[in-house]
Structure 1
């Protein structure tokens, strides 16, 4: 199409674009940045694909909202362009958005500019028919969909083709999720690659992100480039602003606009303290000093609850927030933070991308596993009307253990993948995830993730009723997985280097993101961080705060909720159990979780892998500190029991025997039997990540061995183990004890994994 336009037409389009911008931001003096205009021009006039990598708060959403309004008005024709479908007025913009919180903020922003925006996601299924009707009637300007919708069979096969054919603009928000190299890679985003290839010619595409280094930028741009290439003749007729920017971007059809990632409102600092109680005490002593309201980030769900609990006991108005928080409560907590009704939300990264509020601070209790992920989290602060926000990182020695745990959830081994493909092929029909799960040694969440990757790779297909094998050949790309793993290791080391660096903090983060301005000016300094002298952070904590924090985290006792339902699909692997568990164990106790702030460190050391040991772990009696913690737990809990049965351990036989003997002496009740290992050929970790597989493995591996046939009859039995991973060993042990006549079974362990 002819995209050459006279200067007057260009000026008219830009003037109209800035009218829309002013309505969007509510400021009569607002004007577009050059890069905002370049992106809008590429989308609206040239119908090009563009990737915008700009800092949080820069105004990426303004690009796609203003472009939407121009396309919906058909104003691109004023500059000489014409819709290739022969219609001056484009269809709705489709925005692929990863988080509900982000969708809510985007819809609110759209409404301020008079844009009719709707969403299709897992929480509003009852509205889908109405939404689709409104789209068909031309009553919708913007449709927001989650990436998960793209592979829902009904949406993918029935709704998506119509949207792809009629949409005026496709937007991929948080586009770093497309890339294997992105800090927040999501397999559902890989479906976008297919969607891009299927789009009709002439539909512009915009991808946006604030957190992409050069490797991620190149990867995403290459995927956008896909089927769209611009010929030499078309380049000669480029819109002037787009042509000017092309020289600084990638070749091909995708315009890449990378800007400065400096956040002038942020003051970055690191406070290094030795112990968990000191870090908690620092929070208690210094939280009130932080400006406005903000976020305290933790690495685990358990930590959010523990930290929020402690801070409330010290008089701070805070609440815990994680992926496990119920949806209605999430909304209420987000609004409370926006309104300043709480000082902080103590949150996991579930409160991350897209949460838009004017926050005065972010504190990280524990370091994220990469500078890129850290930059994304701190970007929640210093937005909107906040000109001066503090960003504090309190690293912990256990951070690396937590990183290692999450790294263990990477793409499964080849033999596990092959087993999954074989099961689907043998079945010859669609299998639901619950039906497939018992036959594959993976947890449901990891199985789902793996299937999504295999779906994009073409080896399986999601259909109504579950998943089916396609029969297409598939290769395990071990080299790619190894490269990604190596990159993750390098990112972790870069995060550790950030903690000890005397370099300008913002420059360090920008350099990790390959910010072109910093690469061009390596002497640049922000002048605002603790290393530049613009931020002074006290490391002092009061003795009272340390004492109270130590007492809080040293108090042992984590409930162990009993399993009450057998896993589905056990019959398919030869196990005759189903439905409700007739006689479950009672609620038990553990000293702590492995990830807890207090006793977690000692427990992680106790169960650390030891390659030099024949069993993979060092063995020995219960350490004195944990023995004292167990005594405190028992004094608080006071379980009423008459006998003890101990679960045998191949790896730590001395530990479990010593634990049982110590409990016998303290409680004054005898050890009367063992939950014994009778088939050592079934390894201790067999099926550990999958409930059905674990039930089958424990059923073969273990059996109850009592000193006397009636040793537990009508007795309340303390079932003792070293740690809980899935809970199924305790469940099966309790079942065996009930069958032997026990009146009740009460589990007690040293640690809970996770």
Structure 2
């Protein structure tokens, strides 16, 4: 097929994909030609909505016409996969996916690909290291692949805003591809540093790679920043202005709790709004996406889980209730809006709590070398593969951070995933401290840049594009700094009062722990399996979450590092606690109050217990003793072992418990892992308490 015939075929497929009036952009054709004719490797950095998926679906169709094998697309999100499968069908390309949501279809999908019945296989990066897929399917797929596509390629770079360790495995896959298999990497959010790192990680720089970087501005986006003084003012602004915003859209929040809070608040004001986060059930996620696509709801209050690849051309607005920690992440999220409409509103409502939340997520970065060495030592000493659950009790890492470390070590060749778990390879491993410190420094710089975006009196779009090293960045003429503010920050006093009432509404439920962690015997702790009926706590309560927008702001002041020294519980918190207790709805009223001893805040906890005892006219039964157990352990099993060895019920408290018959209220300052309340409940139940009702000022869950 000559190039003119090839382009004609490409144009026809584009019209089937995007509509009768569609025509290939010159850069799209340049990329398609490089892949299909020249069989080159290409890196395409273009704005969201430019048509990157059209490039790889059309290239796939043309390669298949020429007798080439199926395309493998590595894609990071289920929402992205669903959209891509639908788009592929419009281009005459049969696509299938293997991901965590369709386990029952894996075997059939693999068979169809290997038999040539499928043109495109979409896989998550995590699947590349599933032992069965890696060892049995991937070799055949690699040998017969017609093209490899790495979508959202910035995820391969830990300088990027959404680094995913599994993406690093692509370098190994690339090295095993037969000569002449084209490779396409795409992203909308990469500055020069990320582009260089992606090229290096994918070994693109050494292979005559075609790099296409386009203009990232989208003329439909109208940016603005609304600086409102309080959380209740921001909520009130949304309640008064959401109906004035065009079409339907997304309200991004920084935490799961905030997404739930704002969606509930706006529903109370008559708006159809759904909450969406990484904790939302996959079936519910798909339903919410479809509701938004069909304009059956006004907005989705979402965390960053609703991000890359969600394609709604007529999305009319994106609002951020709280600023993301980097301009690049912000640009990626606002890119959801305005693809197919002339005007879309993009508004940032920053909050005073934003930097506290940034600091929390920054604390989850790659851990110190001594902790990583613990993982390597545990595997080196094992005589068999160890599951993640078996490794966890022996290392001071939470499950999520342990999984991240294992993925990085696997990519670096120090460990290997096999059936049954993980094994050490015996290869030497170097902790790249310079890189990790550099990444931490880059994150701090991004946070400063995000604060400067809020303060700048220059063009906001130009500012964002310069952060992305877009050489085409010029003043947009549309943002609030270029064209003047379009939206007022004024809100009515009644609206603020309603928001304040809602945000200061106290009380969140705290679910009890029901299962001891596995591997406790290795830590000489005699706990395993499910908690017995005689050990379980009742459902507990807390005044608020530390991540909440309402009480969370007040509680963070109390628990922040460097907060005032230990002292009595503040009166406003006592009032809130009384309201929580009054609305609890327990099956039986508590017959007494027990406090948890505290090494760090003994006066706070004691005063809270005494105030509740006096106001509720409940006898104060005593305090559970606690010993200083040293530095707090991050790992769940180790934290449980630490609690198990450090608390006890003394004779005086045991004697008091024998004088009452009914539930006791267990009072503490905060709930983190939940193990303190769980162990304390077991001890209280063993000492004769009929039931235990845990209560705390704050919870982190």
Is the structural similarity TM-score above 0.5? yes
Structure 2 equivalent of residue 281 of structure 1: 236
CA distance in 2, matches of 1:101, 1:196: 25
CA distance in 2, matches of 1:166, 1:174: 24
Spell out structure 1 runs of 4+ moving beyond 4 A: none
CA distance in 2, matches of 1:263, 1:288: 24
1:18 to 4, 7, 11: 11
Structure 2 equivalent of residue 712 of structure 1: 657
Is the counterpart of residue 467 in structure 1 residue 414 in structure 2? no
Summarize deviations over 1:150-199 as a string: whole Å, max 9, x none. 01111111111111111111000000000111100000111111111121
1:106 to 84, 87, 97: 84
Summarize deviations over 1:407-432 as a string: whole Å, max 9, x none. 11111121211111111111121111
CA distance in 2, matches of 1:135, 1:662: 67
Structure 2 equivalent of residue 44 of structure 1: 36
Mean Cα deviation higher: 205-214 or 535-544 = 535-544
Q: How does 1:289-688 map to 2 (within 5 A)?
A: 289-357=244-312, 358-384=314-340, 386-518=341-473, 524-533=474-483, 536-582=486-532, 583-610=535-562, 618-637=565-584, 640-678=589-627, 680=628, 682-683=629-630, 686-687=632-633
Summarize deviations over 1:430-480 as a string: whole Å, max 9, x none. 111111112122221111111001100111111111111111111111111
1:722 to 665, 669, 672: 669
Structure 2 equivalent of residue 79 of structure 1: none
Q: CA deviation at 1:708?
A: 5.1
CA distance in 2, matches of 1:596, 1:706: 39
Q: CA deviation at 1:536?
A: 0.4
CA distance in 1, matches of 2:73, 2:401: 27
Q: CA deviation at 1:737?
A: 0.6
Structure 2 equivalent of residue 521 of structure 1: none
* Structure 1 residue matching 2:498: 3-state secondary structure: helix
* Structure 2 residue matching 1:577: 3-state secondary structure: coil
- Contact 2:168/2:201 (8 A) holds in 1: no
Mean Cα deviation higher: 336-345 or 466-475 = 466-475
- Contact 1:617/1:652 (8 A) holds in 2: no
Give the structure-2-normalised TM-score: 0.97
CA distance in 2, matches of 1:196, 1:441: 34
Summarize deviations over 1:505-531 as a string: whole Å, max 9, x none. 11111010000112xxxxx21111111
5+ residue gaps, structure 1: 1-7, 75-88, 230-251, 519-523, 611-615
Structure 2 equivalent of residue 169 of structure 1: 147
Q: How does 1:139-178 map to 2 (within 5 A)?
A: 139-178=117-156
Summarize deviations over 1:7-59 as a string: whole Å, max 9, x none. x93333222221221222122x4221111111111111111100000000001
CA distance in 2, matches of 1:607, 1:652: 10
Structure 1 equivalent of residue 646 of structure 2: 701
- Contact 1:673/1:706 (8 A) holds in 2: no
- Contact 2:43/2:186 (8 A) holds in 1: yes
CA distance in 1, matches of 2:36, 2:201: 21
* Structure 2 residue matching 1:474: 3-state secondary structure: coil
CA distance in 2, matches of 1:360, 1:557: 35
* Structure 1 residue matching 2:166: 3-state secondary structure: helix
**Residues 352, 706 of structure 1: alpha-carbon distance in 2 compared, 3 angstrom cutoff:** farther
**Residues 535, 59 of structure 1: alpha-carbon distance in 2 compared, 3 angstrom cutoff:** farther
CA distance in 2, matches of 1:439, 1:157: 29
CA distance in 2, matches of 1:381, 1:441: 42
Structure 1 equivalent of residue 50 of structure 2: 58
**Residues 716, 182 of structure 1: alpha-carbon distance in 2 compared, 3 angstrom cutoff:** same
CA distance in 1, matches of 2:433, 2:354: 27
Summarize deviations over 1:473-515 as a string: whole Å, max 9, x none. 1111111110000000000010011011111111111010000
Structure 2 equivalent of residue 232 of structure 1: none
5+ residue gaps, structure 2: none
- Contact 1:431/1:467 (8 A) holds in 2: yes
- Contact 1:527/1:534 (8 A) holds in 2: no
- Contact 2:222/2:345 (8 A) holds in 1: yes
Q: CA deviation at 1:636?
A: 2.4
CA RMSD of aligned residues (A): 1.5
CA distance in 2, matches of 1:593, 1:192: 39
Q: CA deviation at 1:632?
A: 2.2
CA distance in 1, matches of 2:13, 2:662: 76
Q: CA deviation at 1:550?
A: 0.5
Q: CA deviation at 1:635?
A: 2.6
* Structure 2 residue matching 1:710: 3-state secondary structure: helix
- Contact 1:24/1:113 (8 A) holds in 2: yes
CA distance in 2, matches of 1:163, 1:534: 55
* Structure 1 residue matching 2:590: 3-state secondary structure: coil
CA distance in 2, matches of 1:728, 1:136: 49
